[in-house]
Amino acid sequence: MTHLPLEILPPAIGHRRCGNVDVDCVHRLDSGRPGPEVLAQALSHGDEICGAHVLRWLLEQALLPQRGRLTPVLANAAAFERFDAQAPHRSRFVDEDLNRVWSDAADFVLDIHSMHEDGQAL
């Protein structure tokens, strides 16, 4: 695998680790009105840092949905914390690859992945 220099560095998410529910790194933005349950997940793979930038930005906006609930999740923060720009793949996961391991009752799921291999954008 060819190692390419990273153009985007990992964001600081330390202060985002404590969500507002009983699960670390899970935030729940509740409109208080009926509506869809939407889950937006980043860091399913701890080495795919673009989604962490997106969710960090989203949380900084302090937005609330007009209906339903939005649940931003920094899924594999333990793997992400091991991120090394010189060997990004080593922080892909710790014990288990969390790719498509969901047990949420969401109506819609946005699972944000990114790649750092040389190739065409998908």
Q: How far apart are CA 31 and CA 64, in angstroms?
A: 6
Nearest-CB residue to Zn ion?
113
Helix (H), strand (E) at residue 70? strand 69-74
Q: Compose the 27-66 pattern: x for residues touching Zn ion by CB under 5 A, - for all others.
A: ------------------x--x------------------
Q: How far apart are CA 60 and CA 8, in angstroms?
A: 19
The first and second tokens of residue 29, run together, are: 């933005």
Q: How far is the CB of 89 from Zn ion (least distance, A)?
A: 11
Q: How far is the CB of 113 from Zn ion (least distance, A)?
A: 3
Residues making contact with Zn ion (CB under 5 A): 45, 48, 113
